[in-house]
A and B are shown apart, each in its own frame.
Chain A
């Protein structure tokens, strides 16, 4: 499971978007996306090779996982490129990064961005406004996945190693890229946490995912338009990964490894499947979500500069000036030639259409 930082990495790896005015023939989106995917995959492979000290620390048992992450990197970069090639996303993407890199912005409100990242990406305050229960469940899944990713990805890539000074414990030391970070005793609390980090993640994810699954069975609002592959498969995948992961621990502690091999394979299959599925289904929202911060930063900048755009008819505020200009550009890119209409608020659009109907079509019943 990837995290926002990786999304950002993927984004920077993507080629620059084409000229927004469409001058010159842009490379085909598929081609660019493929190039982006290959570049990112190659970079990841290089990172694995060098990060594991030329595969010295690489655990060959984890090879399938590592391969899956390379596919994941390709998929995410590919999808991301396709995504931001669409006019709406491309323009907002540019505006978002422009606000992000603006020194003036930073000087005016240095804490705005970190706060936004914390509330929107970390604590997901907006979910609380939708439903408290969904917020709680999502937080469980989110932090569970963050924890799991922070442990497994470096491990898979051979970036982390745990070595025992005495051969078989209890003294261990953890190394990243071969450099010692901490030493700990596998029998104390820290050690226990180190070795059971993934179990904790599973314990967090399972109730969260089960709540969502239950909701998808019961809640009519959620059931409406629900699709199995899009809405249910991700939840089932999370539950399968977490349960098999827990069972692996259970097997090694209580069953002396009984059924371990079967479980390991099942676990691996489900993880590989999830990683490869990620860019193409519901999980892609993980990669997309930072756009909310970019969008908000863009609007926040406009608000700070007091650039408020008001409806041309009723003079009620619509949004910020740069935002409306950006939207009109998007509409022109899409050949929606009524972009002038964006200068009127939705109510005035309806009232003007209603008056036009009254005066040009019919006044009353007949």
Chain B
């Protein structure tokens, strides 16, 4: 995990999409929003989940690994950058390989785009746009110590399970203190689709 990073707490998220609008205001995104906001409990509750790039550390950036054009650079500070415009061929490998469903693609421009942790801001000490404006702290930018000072009794988890595979990330989730040892479930294996049990 990086020193200063984003911590995501879906339990605090009110689904207002301030992050979605704010993301557009970051100069490095050229007016395009990279963050995802999904309502994960549709029809039952208003629960929501913001998804920024998790900046995978182990394995290092699956998106960069599957890229046929070496277009995705991981900088020394652990930030997985968006595709290099000169190299990206728009094949969408990263879009479909990312276990968190993060990258977006502009088919006409043959260009992948994704959250780069507002590199223009974080590189000079400012928080990313989404975590700056988030009205609830569902997206928090800082160190783990800063987070725990503000929210006594929370722990963080930076490992996700996808079936038998574990992915350790640079961005972490907030979890209740008694569940800190758990890797956070990543959603795979899928046990149910549209109410039907699909376990084989």
Contact = CB atoms under 8 A, between A and B. Distances in A.
A346 B165 contact: no
A350 B68 contact: no
Interface residues of A, number: 64
A336 B160 CA distance: 14
A313 B194 contact: yes
A92 interface: yes
Contact of B81 (A225, A323, A362): A225
Interface in A333-366: 334-338, 340-342, 344-358, 360-366
A4 B29 CA distance: 31
B185 A342 contact: no
A337 B165 CA distance: 6
A126 B108 contact: yes
B101 A130 contact: no
Contacts of B95: 346
Given A289-B89, A337-B164, A349 B101 contact: yes
Nearest to B186: A353
Contacts of A360: 182, 185
Interface in B23-68: 27-30, 36, 38, 40-41, 47-49, 51, 59, 62, 65-68
B108 A365 contact: no
A88 B176 contact: no
A336 B66 contact: yes
A291 to B, nearest CB: 5
A338 B167 CA distance: 10
B100 A292 contact: no
A63 interface: no
Contacts of B75: 225
Contacts of A319: 92, 96
Contacts of B188: 338, 340-341, 352
B27 A220 contact: yes
A203 interface: no
A282 interface: yes
Interface stretch (A8-16, A36-44, A267-275, A324-332): A324-332
Contacts of B65: 87-88, 334, 336
B69 interface: yes
A231 B62 CA distance: 25
A113 B70 CA distance: 24
Contact of A365 (B11, B73, B167, B173): B11
Q: Shortest 10 CB-CB distances between A and B: which pairs? A: A354-B40, A346-B101, A352-B187, A220-B27, A354-B49, A349-B101, A292-B89, A129-B108, A338-B162, A353-B187
